[in-house]
Amino acid sequence: MKLHEYQSKEIFRQYNIPTSEGVLCTTPEEAEKAVHDFNSAAIKAQVLVGGRGKAGGIAIATPENAGEIATRIMGLTIKGLPVKKVLVEQKVDIKQEFYLSIAFDRNSRRPLLIASASGGVDIEEVARTSPHLIHKESIDPSSGPEPDQLLRIARQLDLDSALLSTVVKNLYLIYDELDCTLVEINPLVLTQDGSLIALDAKINVDDNALFRQKAMQDLYEKNLDDLEPLEVEAKKLGMSYVALEGSIGCIVNGAGLALATLDMITQSGGKAANFMDVRGGADAFHVGRAVAITASNPNTKVLLINMFGGLTLCDEIAEGIKNNLQELDIPVVVRLTGTNQEKGWEILEGANVTVAQSTADAARIAVEMAS
């Protein structure tokens, strides 16, 4: 579950992490007035996807051009999501920008503190081109960030240890107490007067923990109208849909298989349009709905279904696929293995699908079909 920037900053302030001063606006007129009140300000689109800056969703405005800029930004659609709100923030006198986050690391199965003196840019690009600029510390969840870890990060960033430690400790409290998978500040800025301020904020909460996070559940309900419609439809069925920017629609069961499938697609030279995780125990109906939802993405040229039969039986999967093929006008690649796999293969015999024997083969075939 993703939170808007303005919602993340409200939480930051509750945990004593300083943020830039801002006003949430729902009309260009409100945004124009806010810019006038600040004299000069940043207008930032509030959408639950990344890439706002590249899409023109963030701009500096003056009282003279605020109305024009606010109208333009609120007329944007960013990665399929219309801009319904903007955050107008007072300009900050910046001395230096940093990156700071705590994210769940699947390899160590621990929270991972990530910091860099290259803030305000795409951290993945920094990791690719200048990995030496990124510093990481694995955090013991039973104790939180240790003093020596905080000192090392402060030295790497050339920041006052006490100043940075306060921000990191509070960031970790958010991560831990709200069941987050990611808490990110990019950029964290050092101002000319020596303060640290979160100029941007991102919080992702574990969907599986919402049952014990009443405040986060309330925010999820509030944000439903701001989500990708396909994601909302999937969530109502107990499934997880994540939109991406490629052309191969992916249906899997399990996050690990999803990541492996995406990696194989990338290695084969393709890009995924999404991944749809139907999760364990899905029946033919839910598999069929997953097929329909994934295929309805206009960017999807090929459907790749890569599923393992455990709690989800292969014959149920095959029935769900076969029952929805008549609705599709794109090729379908299926890799099916596990419980009742022979029954599943029999059901798909004669159906208009391409059956692959491995994830690598399925990815390669799907990429070729999408080309």
| Number of other CB atoms surrounding residue 298 within 10 Å | 8
Long-range contacts of 278-282 (CB under 8 A, 24+ apart): 278/239, 278/251, 278/252, 278/253, 278/307, 278/312, 279/238, 279/239, 279/240, 279/253, 279/254, 280/253, 280/254, 280/310, 280/311, 280/312, 281/311, 281/312, 282/239, 282/253, 282/312, 282/316, 282/317, 282/320
Query: How many helices and strands, by DSSP H and E, does the chain display?
Result: 13, 18
What is the rounded distance in angstroms from the CA atom of residue 217 to the CA atom of residue 214?
A: 5
> Residues 322, 350: contact at Cβ < 8 Å?
no
Q: Considering only CA atoms, which of 248, 244, 276 is closest in space to residue 370? A: 248
Q: Considering only CA atoms, which of 91, 44, 106 is closest in space to residue 69? A: 44
Catalytic residue among 89, 137, 184, 319: 184
Give yes or no: 64 in active site.
Answer: no
Find tokens 């699947």 and name the residue: 106
**Distances from the Cα of 37 to the Cα of 20, 24, 33, 187, angstroms:** 15, 13, 6, 24
Catalytic residue among 5, 6, 99, 228: 99
Please list the helix, strand and coil fractions of the chain in percent, rounded to the nearest 5, in that order.
40, 25, 35
Q: Considering only CA atoms, which of 295, 299, 296 is closest in space to residue 333? A: 295
Residue 116 backbone phi and psi in degrees, to 5: -155, 145
Give yes or no: 245 in active site.
Answer: no
> Residues 355, 366: contact at Cβ < 8 Å?
no
Sheet holding 354-356, edge to edge: 240-243, 274-277, 248-252, 302-309, 332-338, 354-356
**Distances from the Cα of 179 to the Cα of 173, 208, 239, angstroms:** 10, 9, 19
Q: Considering only CA atoms, which of 66, 41, 60, 46 is closest in space to residue 3? A: 46
Catalogue the active-site residues.
99, 184
